[in-house]
Every structure is written in structure tokens, then in C-alpha cells.
Amino acid sequence: MVNARRRIGLVHHTSGGNLGDDGTLAAVMHNIKTRWPEAEIVGLGMVREDHIRPLTWPLSHKEEHPSEHPHDAPTSLKDKIKTAVINNGLLYRWLKAIYMVAIALQEIPFLVKSFRNLRSFDLLIINAGGQLAESAGKPRAFRECRWKFSYTIFRWVLLARLASIEPMILNLAAGPLAGLNKMFFKRALSLAHYVSLREEQSSALILELGFRRATHVLPDSVYGLEISGETGARVCHRGSRIGFAPILFGQPTPPLEDEDPRFTFFLQQVGSFASWLLRNDYGVTMFCTDINIDPPALCRLNATIRTDVDATICDRSLDRVHQWSTAELLANMSSMDYVVTSRFHGVVFAHMLNIPVLAISDHPTVSRLMSDLGLSDYCVDIEKCEVNVLVGRFLSLVSHRDEIKRRMASKLTSYKEEISSQFDELFRC
């Protein structure tokens, strides 16, 4: 088939505000276009709730979040009613059942329309990401139903098979699976023409499911994204700029007595660590890689620091940057000398920019990536992140900065070669 006639459907979930997922999508698009410049790539929203938009780089969420503080708005009447319903167990169960029936009725025309659209494609690619592995950061449509993401992947793979086109699942990280989640996931894998996983543990998990076909374990697809690798980092250690990307989990909104005590502990310790940095002549820049989930954590961290550090120091050395796209995120991070993050893609982007990173891990995917990078000494469990531990690990990170950067650069070269080989195989010229 002539490349100019190839029509590729790229299934995505870019409405969640996860800039790491957006980056993997951009990397897939870039690598296809590099090898098949005349191919037509059409974005297909993974679920009905996804926004319909042209898939151009850079993707931007600014129109979805016109306020710089999207989570700071006062509680609406709708939110108050929803909270009251949830607190009424019987009423909530009845309304949820009605809602699920309504969703099922909407699903039928969506499936018919999707099948008709798929018949005009030559190839279907599902850019899966780590939604089955991550405990937070899922697109809004997936958060209240444990099996909906695995069902959605299964649905698209099955429709592709019925339409006689080849479905590919790229960059999947699988977490613990059970029940319907397990069933849909296994069926989707068995029907896919090609499956790539982003870690060995995911490969072991699907073997436990009884899946015996060949899979490919590769670094995260975002490593295939072309970016500038120069950070412009300064030579001196004092006065360096530290990027902080705190994660949100539990219930951070009032009433505070309902807040997850782990989140309270995390904020206290990270806030004390940031305060120590400011008092020792470091600059602190707060940012996030998931703009739909984590902004409240940044606001709380900012308040914690400002109650602990003199206002003059904060005004001079503490700031917050906003990013509505992966491109803006990378531009913001490029001015940082060190990064402190809890997100998987926070570590990945720091690695791609060759910035020494201290990870406060809330999930095995983060700690495993840090181990693969040879940075286990700089990965702290989120429930054990006492301020003295963070200070000690950071000072070690500074002391071994040059060695760490060399190690990260070597690993980055290896990762990029693996991703390039994958796309060479899938999209031969």
C-alpha cells in the first residue's frame, strides 16, 4: 500500500490533563509522520466524554481550564447536591443504577458510529499509557468505574477486528487486575495485532492471565519525542533552582478532618523540605505534570511554605509556573537544576532533560523507573518522606550531580534507540 493512502486512527484520552499522556501521543504522531510523511492521522476520542479536537502538537488544555487555579473556585450548588446524594447511601445506589442504564443505552449508537468510521482506516493504534497502573490522574470518565478503561481498550480492539483492520496497543502499563477488569484486559490483548508494554512487571502480570503471545517491553513512548536536551544548568550548587511537583491524593478539600492523613503528612514534610531549601539560598519553583489533578496540592504547598518562611525570602525565591501543554511544561522544566516529583512522567521528563531528580514515590511504577535509571538512592517512599531524609538525599544528589547526569544521559541514549527501533519495525518506509 502506498504511504500516501494510509489512514491511521489514533485512539487517545487527552482530556484528562495528564501532560505525560499528551507527550506519549505527540511522540507516536511524530514517529509515524517521520516514517510515513504522507499518512493521514485521525484522532479518535477513547470515550464519548473526550473532547473532539485535531491532534496537533502541542496539544493545549488552556481552553478547558481558563483559570490559572481551576480547583480554587468555591463549591457550586451542583457539587453540594452531589455530596448530599453520595452521603445518602440508598438514594446514591438507586441513582447510580439509573445512570449506568442510561450510559449503556448511549453506548449502542456510539459503537455503531465508531464501527462505521473504522472501516475507512488501514490501521488502529491505541495509545494506552499507564491508566491501569496509576492510582490517580485518570481521565474524568474513568475514575468512577474500575473496569471502564480495560473495557474501552477491549471495545476499540474488537471494533477494529470486526472492521478488518489491524489494532495495535502501545505503551501499556498494567496494574493489579481482577473481575471484569481482568476479563476485558485479557480479551483485548488476545485480539490485538501488536502489544508493547512499558515495564517487565506488566509482562509478568499478563503471563499470569494466561496470555502467551509475543509482547514487547520498551521504555515509555514519550522517549520518542524530539526535544532540546540542553537545560542550561548552572555550575554552582547554591542558588540553584529546584522544581517541586507535589502529587494530590486522598481528599484535600474541606472539611479537613476528612483529609487522608498520608496527604497531610506528605505536605508537612515536603513543605518543611522546601522551606529548608529557601533558607539555604536555593530557589523553589512549583509546577505540575497533571494539571487536572495536582493544582490543589501546589496551592496547599505554597500556603505551607509561606507560613514557615519569611515573606521577603518567598517573594524573592519562591514561585509557581503554569503549563497548559507538554511543550510549555518542558520549557518550564528546562530552567530547573533539580526536580522533586511524585509522578511517573515527572521523572521521565526530568530524565529527558538530564535534570537530576529526587522522586517521592507513591506507586511501584515510579520506584521501578528510578531503579532502572540507577537512581534508587534518590527514591523515597511517600509514606516515609521525613524532612531529614529528603534533605539528606538531596544533599547526596547535589554532591553526585555530575556522575548522575552522565548515568542519566547514557540511559537516555539507550531508551531512545529502543523506541526508534520499535517505530522502525512498525512503520517501515
**pLDDT for 348:** 97
Strand order in the sheet with 357-361: 318-320, 283-286, 241-245, 338-341, 357-361, 379-381
**pLDDT for 374:** 95
**Angle (CA) 63 68 72, round 5°:** 115
Judge whether 171 and 220 are in contact, CB under 8 Å: yes
**pLDDT for 69:** 46
Confidence class of residue 234 from pLDDT cuts 50, 70 and 90?
very low
% residues pLDDT > 90 (the chain): 48
Which of 258-267, 369-378, 387-396 bottoms out in mean pLDDT, i.e. has the lowest?
A: 258-267
Q: Is the pLDDT of residue 51 over 50?
A: no
CATH superfamily entry for domain 241-412: Glycogen Phosphorylase B; (3.40.50.2000)
Confidence class of residue 251 from pLDDT cuts 50, 70 and 90?
low
Choice between 256 and 31, residue whose per-residue pLDDT is larger: 31
Q: Is the peptide bond before 139 cis (omega within 30 degrees of 0)?
A: no
**pLDDT for 263:** 86
Q: What contacts 139, CB < 8 A, 6 or more positions away?
A: 13, 15, 16, 18, 46, 47, 49, 50, 131
Judge whether 161 and 46 are in contact, CB under 8 Å: no
**pLDDT for 182:** 82
Q: What is the distance in angstroms between the CA of the first residue and the CA of the last residue of the chain?
A: 11
Please determine whether the domains at 3-64+111-225 and 241-412 fall in the same fold group of CATH: yes
Confidence class of residue 140 from pLDDT cuts 50, 70 and 90?
very low
Predicted confidence (pLDDT) per residue in 322-355, tens digit: 998 899 999 999 999 999 999 999 999 999 999 9
**pLDDT for 47:** 61
What does the buried/exposed string (b/e) look like for 292-330 if buried means 16 or more CB atoms within 10 Å of the residue's CB? bbbbbbbbbbbebbbebbeeeebeebbebbbbbbbbbbb
**pLDDT for 84:** 65
Q: Could you give the CA distance from residue 237 to residue 132 in angstroms, rounded to a whole number?
A: 39
Cell of 106: 448511549
Residue whose C-alpha cell reads 534533605 in the numeric block: 391
Predicted confidence (pLDDT) per residue in 84-103, tens digit: 656 666 766 676 667 666 66
**pLDDT for 143:** 46
Q: Is the pLDDT of residue 286 over 60?
A: yes
**pLDDT for 339:** 97
Choice between 204 and 167, residue whose per-residue pLDDT is larger: 167
Which of 139-148, 258-267, 309-318 bottoms out in mean pLDDT, i.e. has the lowest?
A: 139-148
Q: Is the pLDDT of residue 235 over 80?
A: no
Q: Is the dihedral of CA 329, 335, 341, 346 positive or negative?
A: positive
Judge whether 17 and 292 are in contact, CB under 8 Å: yes
Judge whether 422 and 220 are in contact, CB under 8 Å: no
Q: Could you give the CA distance from residue 377 to residue 393 in angstroms, rounded to a whole number?
A: 7
Q: Which CATH class is domain 3-64+111-225?
A: alpha beta
**What mean pLDDT comes out for the span 250-274?**
75
Q: Is the pLDDT of residue 380 over 90?
A: yes
Domain boundaries, the chain: 3-64+111-225, 241-412
% residues pLDDT > 70 (the chain): 75
Cell of 16: 484528562
Confidence class of residue 255 from pLDDT cuts 50, 70 and 90?
very low
What mean pLDDT, rounded, does the chain reach?
Answer: 82
Q: Is the pLDDT of residue 66 over 70?
A: no
pTM for the whole structure: 0.84
Q: Is the pLDDT of residue 137 over 60?
A: no
CA distances from 194 to 152, 153, 413, 426 (A): 17, 13, 25, 9
Q: Is the pLDDT of residue 298 over 70?
A: yes
**pLDDT for 176:** 66
Confidence class of residue 221 from pLDDT cuts 50, 70 and 90?
very high
Choice between 97 and 57, residue whose per-residue pLDDT is larger: 97
Q: Kindly give the interhelix angle for 200-208 and 179-191, rounded to the nearest 10 degrees.
A: 100
Which of 42-51, 122-131, 252-261, 339-348 bottoms out in mean pLDDT, i.e. has the lowest?
A: 252-261
